[in-house]
């Protein structure tokens, strides 16, 4: 199969879906309050996605039951929204939304927090955001996928954090998970070469302690740090353009070249 080069028509469709996913992450900010369950947030996200003519890609994906992933504190990724998980001050969490609009996929996530959080937690969140941005800055025609992981892991390690290597970014757009796997650790100028029209996610998961994760035996999805320390993640869907990149899921305008 190899890495799909998207046509202009496909790019336009993927951009539209990606923008909807990005707007869902902005919309949900208004509902984040102490005492709210992650299932309530998930229901609001699902309604928003469907009201905009799209489908939540995660619902039913390999048996995953919900419209978003909401991963609190030591949960690295794939936290299943639940009526039993209630937000409280001091929590940090990632919300990950993937939309299917007119058959096209957009995938993005960001960090949220409630009330006072520790300086260490805030630092981890800020450093993770910077890791994603360093990865994104490596994207241009002729660059290599290994440069993304190199830039991310060098910075994370300099800040005293570890990089999760058991979950990766991925090609996206026509399907949920396409080639290539986008690793968040790597060596310079290794891996496939980037070409205009490629679309993939960059979604580093950065841990305060050890990098290893463990998937919950009971639900089969929730991945936690093995040491119970905090984890953070940001994700954008990125297009390789003729001159560099476009962050398709960005709705804040901060990546305009």
Q: Which residues bind ligand MF3 (CB under 6 A)?
A: 58, 61-62, 64, 69, 78, 96, 98, 107, 201, 203, 221, 235
Report the residue number, 27 or 117, with the smaller CB distance to ligand MF3. 27
In the range 70-109, which residues lie near Co ion by CB under 5 A? 96, 107, 109
Closest approach of ligand MF3 to the CB of residue 142, in Å: 26
Closest approach of ligand MF3 to the CB of residue 19, in Å: 16
CB 82 within 8 A of CB 38: yes
- Choose the stretch contacting Co ion; rule: CB under 5 A; options: 52-60, 190-198, 209-217, 229-237: 229-237
Residues 6+ apart with CB under 8 A from 242: 141, 196
Q: Pairing relation of β-strands 104-113 and 213-215? A: unpaired
Closest approach of Co ion to the CB of residue 210, in Å: 23
Closest approach of ligand MF3 to the CB of residue 255, in Å: 18
Report the residue number, 242 or 252, with the smaller CB distance to Co ion. 252
61 binds, among ligand MF3, Co ion, none (CB under 5 to 8 A by kind): ligand MF3
The pair of three-digit structure tokens given for residue 224, joined into one six-digit string = 């936690």
> Exposed e or buried b for every residue in 142-174, given b needs 16+ CB within 10 A?
ebbbbbbbbbbbbbbeeeebbbbbebbbbbbbe
* Residue indicated by tokens 């899921």: 249
CA distance 111 to 34: 16
Number of residues that bind Co ion (CB under 5 A): 5
Nearest to 3 by CA among 130, 203, 191, 251: 191
Report the residue number, 176 or 255, with the smaller CB distance to ligand MF3. 176
Query: Residue 227 CA to chain centroid, in angstroms?
Result: 22
31 binds, among Co ion, ligand MF3, none (CB under 5 to 8 A by kind): none
Report the residue number, 7 or 94, with the smaller CB distance to ligand MF3. 94
**Strand order through the sheet with 245-247:** 178-182, 169-171, 199-202, 236-240, 245-247
Report the residue number, 123 or 181, with the smaller CB distance to Co ion. 181
In the range 179-218, which residues lie near Co ion by CB under 5 A? 201
CA distance 95 to 109: 5
104 binds, among ligand MF3, Co ion, none (CB under 5 to 8 A by kind): none
User: Which residues are near Co ion by CB under 5 A?
Assistant: 96, 107, 109, 201, 235
């Amino acid at each position: 199969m190899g890495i799909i080069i998207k046509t202009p028509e496909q790019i336009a469709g993927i951009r539209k879906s990606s923008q909807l996913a990005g707007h869902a992450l902005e919309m949900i900010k208004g509902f984040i309050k102490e005492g709210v369950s992650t299932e309530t947030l998930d229901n609001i996200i699902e309604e928003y996605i469907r009201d905009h003519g799209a489908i939540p890609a995660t619902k039913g994906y390999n048996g995953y039951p919900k419209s978003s992933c909401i991963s609190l504190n030591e949960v690295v990724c794939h936290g299943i929204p639940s009526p039993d998980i209630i937000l409280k001050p001091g929590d940090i969490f990632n919300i990950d939304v993937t939309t299917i609009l007119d058959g096209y996929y957009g995938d993005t996530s960001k960090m949220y927090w409630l009330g006072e959080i520790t300086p260490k937690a805030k630092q981890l969140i800020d450093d993770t955001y910077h890791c994603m941005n360093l990865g994104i800055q490596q994207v241009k025609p002729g660059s290599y996928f290994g440069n993304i992981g190199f830039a991310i892991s060098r910075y994370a390690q300099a800040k005293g954090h570890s990089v999760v290597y058991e979950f990766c970014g991925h090609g996206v757009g026509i399907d949920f998970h396409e080639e290539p796997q986008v690793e968040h650790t790597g060596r310079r100028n290794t891996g496939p070469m980037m070409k205009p029209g490629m679309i993939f996610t960059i979604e580093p998961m950065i841990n305060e302690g050890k990098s290893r994760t463990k998937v919950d035996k009971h639900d089969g999805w929730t991945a936690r740090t093995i040491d119970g320390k905090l984890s953070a993640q940001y994700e954008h869907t990125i297009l390789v353009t003729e001159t560099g990149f476009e962050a398709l899921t960005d709705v804040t305008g901060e990546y305009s070249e």
